[in-house]
């Protein structure tokens, strides 16, 4: 029995409601209905807050008409989960996209309730792709900043959260040692406090596993020339490091290096809201990022300018185990310890700036990466 128009409208209304809640199957069905008369197949996927739409047809899809139709449909949906839209047009059977457009929900093209809009000019589209920190992100940063100051000032809390730094530090050592073929186990130093990583002799078996993993990844990404080039560069650098003392330098440095990575990851998750299920998650990430930053800045500053602190640090752990920067300064770089400490202090200052730069240029970076993958 044929369906009446009322049933059809009800079905579309249900799809719209489902799409608003972030249901990708409903959104795909709506967009395919929109383009069915043009013999265009639509595929959608959601990466974080970016909706990727792939338009495929026997002939090159018209970009202006396609963007206008998508703008109208997105104006109708207005899902909170979608902040930007990337549209790709390509011919059936061809892996490379013929054209691509990037739009954001903040742009007037998607918010103005008019029937049809042409694609934005390159200038306006570039401006719209500059991200800004939303109110939730600003609030999370401020809350985390204040909490981190409190944790740094109040001794019991500082000691408690110092365990987070130990965990990150020792994981950095262990992961790098494993990468260069040395099995390692991060542990807690019960005798003198802090942490220590137990490192075993280099194993050819582990190194072979690393090369096999690279080969397997290259096979899985064999259709993406850009990734293959990156893997080739990584393999070359890895081999050079493996055959020189650079691998030991990296293994020693990556204790503190992983702390810099933790600062970057925590602050970026707080600003962007990625992988945050509740509003409190962003504040927690911010607190951990700023606490690690404050601890590292204080450590590097004291090591570079406080003679008593430097003498204590040079004494090692229990007078038996040398500290990381002492080994780097004395055995590898042949410089004063304050030089290594100052370089690390500069790194602590640069990392938050890099986080902001990546956040503000995220849409450009995604578009560039898409072009590289499709090349």
pLDDT digits (tens, 9 = 90+) for 49-64: 888 898 988 777 887 8
> How far apart, in whole angstroms, are the C-alpha atoms of residue 195 and residue 200?
17
The pLDDT assigned to 125 comes to 45
Highest mean pLDDT (candidates 42-46, 126-130, 353-357) = 353-357
β-bridge partners, 195: 188
Strands 50-57 and 84-91: parallel
Q: Give tens-digit pLDDT for 313-365.
A: 999 887 788 999 999 999 999 999 999 999 999 999 999 999 999 999 988 88
Mean pLDDT of the chain: 86
- Reading the block at residue 314, the tokens are 């040079």
In this prediction, residue 32 carries a pLDDT of: 86
Tokens of 252: 């020693």
DSSP-assigned states of every residue in 177-190: HHHTT--EEEEE-T
Q: How confident is the model at residue 231 (pLDDT cuts 50, 70, 90)?
A: very high
- Contact (Cβ atoms closer than 8 angstroms) between residue 68 and residue 116: yes
Domain boundaries, the chain: 5-128, 135-374
Highest mean pLDDT among 184-193, 290-299, 309-318: 290-299
* Residue 16, pLDDT above cutoff 80: no
Q: In which order are the strands placed within the sheet that holds 84-91?
A: 41-47, 50-57, 84-91, 99-104
- On whether the CB atoms of residues 276 and 254 are closer than 8 A, the answer is no
Quote the distance between the C-alpha of residue 201 and its chain's center. 33
Task: Say how many CA atoms lie within 13 Å of 86 toward its Cβ.
Answer: 21
């Amino acid at each position: 029995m044929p369906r009446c128009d009322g049933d059809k409208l009800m079905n579309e209304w249900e799809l719209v409601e489902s799409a608003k809640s972030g249901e990708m199957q409903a959104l795909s069905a709506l967009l395919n209905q929109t383009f069915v008369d043009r013999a265009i197949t639509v595929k959608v996927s959601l990466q974080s807050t970016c909706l990727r739409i792939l338009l495929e047809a026997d002939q090159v899809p018209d970009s202006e008409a396609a963007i206008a139709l998508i703008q109208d449909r997105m104006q109708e949906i207005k899902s909170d989960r979608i902040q930007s839209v990337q549209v790709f047009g390509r011919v059936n059977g061809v892996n490379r996209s013929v054209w691509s457009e990037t739009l954001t929900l903040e742009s007037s093209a998607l918010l103005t309730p008019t029937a049809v809009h042409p694609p934005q000019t390159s200038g306006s589209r570039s401006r719209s792709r500059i991200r800004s920190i939303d109110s939730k992100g600003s609030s999370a940063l401020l809350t985390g900043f204040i909490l981190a100051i409190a944790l740094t000032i109040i001794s019991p809390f500082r000691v408690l959260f110092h365990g987070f730094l130990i965990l990150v530090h020792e994981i950095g050592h262990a992961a790098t040692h494993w990468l260069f073929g040395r099995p390692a186990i991060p542990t807690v130093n019960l005798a003198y406090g802090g942490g220590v990583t137990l490192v075993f002799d280099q194993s050819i078996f582990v190194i072979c596993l690393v090369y096999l993993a690279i080969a397997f990844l290259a096979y899985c990404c064999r259709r993406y020339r850009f990734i293959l080039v990156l893997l080739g560069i990584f393999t070359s650098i890895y081999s050079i490091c493996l055959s020189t003392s650079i691998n030991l330098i990296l293994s020693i440095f990556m204790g503190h290096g992983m702390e810099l990575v933790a600062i970057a990851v925590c602050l970026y998750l707080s600003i962007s809201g990625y992988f945050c299920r509740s509003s409190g998650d962003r504040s927690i990430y911010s607190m951990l990022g700023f606490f690690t930053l404050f601890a590292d800045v204080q450590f590097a500053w004291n090591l570079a300018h406080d003679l008593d602190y430097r003498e204590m640090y040079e004494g090692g752990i229990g007078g038996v185990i040398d500290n990381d920067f002492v080994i780097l300064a004395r055995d590898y770089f042949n410089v004063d310890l304050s030089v290594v400490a100052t370089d690390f202090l500069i790194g602590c200052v640069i990392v938050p700036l890099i986080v902001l730069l990546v956040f503000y240029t995220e849409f450009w970076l995604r578009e560039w990466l898409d072009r590289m993958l499709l090349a």
